[in-house]
Amino acid sequence: MKTLYMVFHPNLEHSKVNKIWYEQVAESSAVTTVRDIGSEYPDFNYNIEKEHKLLLDHDRIIFQFPFYWYNMPWQLKKYFDEIFSFNFAYGPEGDKLKNKEFQVISSVGGAVDSYTPGGYQNFTASEFYRPLQQTAFLSRMKYLPPYFMYSAVAADEIEIKQYGEKIISLIEDIDRADSRSVLKRILKRAKDLK
Ligand SMILES: Cc1cc2nc3c(=O)[nH]c(=O)nc-3n(C[C@H](O)[C@H](O)[C@H](O)COP(=O)(O)O)c2cc1C
């Protein structure tokens, strides 16, 4: 399993949360390729050919970013607009991402209990990310459950690092989203119990 881990932040140097996670993931051996997109592309003018090659070369694609105005930051939206293109991600010949995994990791400023129906934010964070889920679906990718850290604006360094460690163990659990292997494990356990 080759994992491409990409961080989309308008200014990672001034970030509290995403910078720490980026450094933790980069220092770990959990992923094959880790990238701070803002330092590779200071103007976010993407090299489409290079990005396509990177996507083709990996099996799991992880997008890490802060939650902005109930959405992804524009740098990530621009990435999808330009890189998930016709006959690459969708369209009659657009099967290049088929069966690859798609994972969202995001820091959310507000508290978890505000992200409830009728609450201050009215919807859950997962609901705000439906467009990403559908992007993965249309691209015939496997959408893994998104991972959020709520109350990110109030978190201290220790807490942020604990989340970073959880992110690394999440990535390392490569069988987690594969229902067939989960089923196989359950069947094996049932057989062993007999
Ligand atoms: C422009 C902007 C918009 C934001 N919008 C939201 C929002 O809609 N909901 C929310 O919970 N937090 C929001 N926040 C808070 C960010 O999610 C939070 O600052 C970020 O996750 C912290 O990550 P960082 O330290 O890596 O920048 C916003 C922050 C900024 C700067």
Q: How confident is the model at residue 174 (pLDDT cuts 50, 70, 90)?
A: low
Pocket of ligand 1 (CB under 6 A): 9, 15-18, 66-70, 107-110, 152-153
- How many angstroms does the Cα of residue 136 sit away from the middle of ligand 1? 23
Say yes or no to pLDDT of 177 above 60.
no
Say yes or no to pLDDT of 89 above 80.
yes
**DSSP string covering the chain:** --EEEEE--TTGGG-SHHHHHHHHHHHSSS-SEEEEHHHH-TT----HHHHHHHHHT-SEEEEEEE-BTTB--HHHHHHHHHHS-BTTTBSTT--TTTT-EEEEEEE-SS-GGGSSTTSSS-S-HHHHTHHHHHHHHHTT-EEPPPEEESSGGG--HHHHHHHHHHHHHHHH-TTTT-HHHHHHHHHHHHHHH-
pLDDT per position as a tens digit, 92-110:
999 999 999 999 999 999 9
- How many angstroms does the Cα of residue 117 sit away from the middle of ligand 1? 20
Report the nearest atom of ligand 1 relative to the CA of 107. 21
* Mutational test site, ligand 1, from 69, 112, 156, max ligand atoms within 8 Å of CB: 69
Higher pLDDT, 186 or 170: 170
- pLDDT for 167: 97
pTM of the model: 0.91
pLDDT per position as a tens digit, 121-163:
999 999 999 999 999 999 999 999 999 999 999 999 999 999 9
Give the residue whose CA is nearest to atom 3 of ligand 1.
68
